[in-house]
Structures are given as structure tokens and as C-alpha cells.
Amino acid sequence: IFQRYNALNADEFDDSEYDIVVVHDPQPAAMIDHFPDSHARWIWRCHIDLSTPNESVLDVLLPSLARYDAAIFHMPQYVPRSGNLPEAFIWPPAIDPLAPKNIALSAEDAAYIVDQFGIDVQRPLLTQVSRFDPWKDPLGVIDAFRIVRETHPGLQLGLVGSMAHDDPEGWDFYNQTVEHAAGDPDIFILSNLNNIGSVEVNAFQVYSAAVLQKSIREGFGLTVTEGLWKVRPTVAGRVGGIPSQIQDGETGWLVDSVEECAAACLEILAEPGEARSRGIRGKEYVRQHFLTPRLLRDWLALFNRLDGNDTGETQLVTVSAEAA
Ligand code: UDP
């Protein structure tokens, strides 16, 4: 299936029109095999953690990956150990502050939007925005919510998770999440099927007393970036790219368990002023590191580097440079 779909996509693609081709993630990585005489530079952008891959799957990908001119990973430790990869560059992803998901939304507008989904805007809300995936741990989020609610009986929980088209296991886990919520009227399980789009995700993040991302494994965790950008007190699992975004105690809360997650939420609800200070510092950190202008600069520097041009003052991080 992998080979067949890569061939079908390659048929639809005319590489002669382009100087640079960027291919994202493993699914279309083998398209490059169909362009042996390409004049374009090919770059593979990997969004996932390949530090401990299923070796037999990686072995299928490696011959294709070896053909690329460069590969990009979020973090140095995500690069698989293999002599057969192109030069690996390291930079994190970014969010677009002008996109509907991240544009400034007033508290009133956010409340107006979440109200349409049944949220009682007189009462506080915790939200996790995530695909329905065991590694995002929505069941753990429900458990943490139940602990916090013992102290704050009016608390509500939003689990906002689109059903990704490339995630066939999503439905199964969605059903498990619904079952775990056990008909609790204060737990709102919403998705794109309820007409949740980018602006609605934005509104849930802006309206929430705390944004959660209680992952137990994570690539980068863009929902954390989004929460911080909205000056939200953000509570997230100490995994993957999340610790590179949150300095625990400084710009948010890093947690390793349901109990720690609940304790962080209790702290936020008890001391909103202190929580807001962390949110403000978190937003500043995102401004400096994870917005699209930085991403654009990295891309342009890499294009220049591949063309043998000066990359100006931009230092591109490669894995070997990082190790040194
Ligand atoms: N997202 C969304 N609607 C949802 C669930 C997720 O728009 O119902 C978005 C979310 O805002 C973020 C992205 O999907 O921009 C998820 O990225 P992340 O790195 O957090 O996790 P991934 O799904 O890539 O593992």
C-alpha cells in the first residue's frame, strides 16, 4: 500500500517546476524514488520522534530517505541512528500568530463561542485539545479533572479532538474516552464533527482557566505552544518537545502523573494571579522561539545552504554540531 500510494502521488507531481521540494513525514517519503533525475533539492521534514523506531519499518524508509538532500527533525534526539541518512538539521516547528487558530480573541468573544457548545460561561473550564490517541492520555485528563472537581464542584472539562483522516484507530479511542466520561454532563467531548474548527479551538484555549496537554509521548506538542501564546496557564506532560517549551515553575507546569496534573490545576485555580504571570512569561518565550518568522528564517537559511550561498547570521543546527 505504501509503495502504491507513493507511486500514485508521484504521478500527480511534476518536479520540473520546482527548485525545492519539501516532503513531510514518513507517509509520502518514497515519492522521491520516482524522480531519480530531479534537478530540485529534496528535503524531508520529519515531525515525529524516530529515536526508538520499529527497525523493520525504518528499514523500509531508509533507502528513500537516503536520496534526500537534507532531513529536518524537531530535536537532536529524534534523529534515528543510521549512517544512511542525509545531513540532519534541527529546528522546532512554529505557530502562525495571524492564523484563525491564534489571532487575538477577546475574552467576551471566546465566551460567546464556547457558550454555543454548551459550556456554562459562569463556571471555570479546563481544556485539552488533542487527537483521540492513547499518547495524549485523555483518560488521564478525565481522572485529573475528577480530582480537581472535588475542590471546585463547578468545574467543567473540554476535550476537543478532531478525528484525523490518517488516524484509523482514533474512533476506537474516542469511544473509550466517551465511555470513561460516563455521561458526566460537565465533560464536553467535542470534535470537528461538532463543527469545531480553528476559531473554535482558539476560543476554547482562550476561555480556559488552564490548558492541558497531559501527553505521555509527544512529538513537539503544538497545542502547548498555542496555549502559551494565549497567555494560558499550561499544564503538560514532561515528554517529547514539551520541556523545550515549558520551563517548569517558570512558564508553566510539567507533570508526570494524574496526581501532579490535578495538583497543578488546583494551584492555578487557587492562585490565578501567579498562574497568569507564568502565562505571560510563556507567551514571551513562544514569541522568541516558536513563531512563523523564525521558521521562515530557518527554511530560507537551509535553502541558501543547499545552494551553497551565505546563510547570513542564521546558524543552522546540525546533529553533529549539536553533539560537539
Ligand atoms: N487540533 C485542532 N483540532 C482538534 C485537535 C487538534 O485544530 O480538535 C490541532 C491543534 O490545535 C494543533 C494540532 O492539531 O495545532 C496538533 O498538533 P500537536 O503537535 O499538538 O499534536 P499532533 O496531533 O501533531 O500529535
Reported confidence tier of residue 3, pLDDT bands at 50, 70, 90: very high
Count how many Cα atoms sit within 13 Å of the Cα of residue 306 in the half-sphere of its side chain: 22
Q: Could you tell me the pTM of the whole model? A: 0.93
CB of 202 closer than 6 angstroms to any ligand 1 atom: no
| Predicted pLDDT of residue 37 | 95
Reported confidence tier of residue 320, pLDDT bands at 50, 70, 90: low
| Predicted pLDDT of residue 164 | 67
- pLDDT over threshold 50, residue 324: no
pLDDT in tens, 186-242: 999 998 888 899 999 999 999 999 999 999 999 999 999 999 999 999 999 999 999
CA of 223 to the centre of ligand 1 (A): 6
Least confident of 11-20, 150-159, 196-205, 309-318: 309-318
**How far is residue 123's CA from residue 193's CA, in Å, rounded to a whole number?**
25
pLDDT in tens, 258-289: 999 999 999 999 999 999 999 999 999 999 99
Mean pLDDT of 49-76: 94
Sign of the Cα pseudo-torsion (257, 263, 266, 268, in order): negative
Least confident of 81-95, 106-120, 263-277, 285-299: 81-95
CA of 130 to the centre of ligand 1 (A): 5
| Predicted pLDDT of residue 166 | 67
CB of 127 closer than 6 angstroms to any ligand 1 atom: no
Mean pLDDT of 171-183: 94
Q: What is the mean pLDDT of the chain?
A: 94
Between residues 209 and 315, the one the model is more confident about? 209
CB atoms within 10 A of CB 190: 22
CA of 323 to the centre of ligand 1 (A): 31
CB of 205 closer than 6 angstroms to any ligand 1 atom: no
First-last CA distance in the chain: 40
Mean pLDDT of 50-76: 94
For the CA of 241, the closest atom of ligand 1 is 19
For the CA of 198, the closest atom of ligand 1 is 7
Between residues 319 and 102, the one the model is more confident about? 102
- pLDDT over threshold 50, residue 321: no
- pLDDT over threshold 50, residue 322: no
CB atoms within 10 A of CB 39: 9
pLDDT in tens, 155-176: 999 999 877 676 777 888 999 9
For the CA of 218, the closest atom of ligand 1 is 25
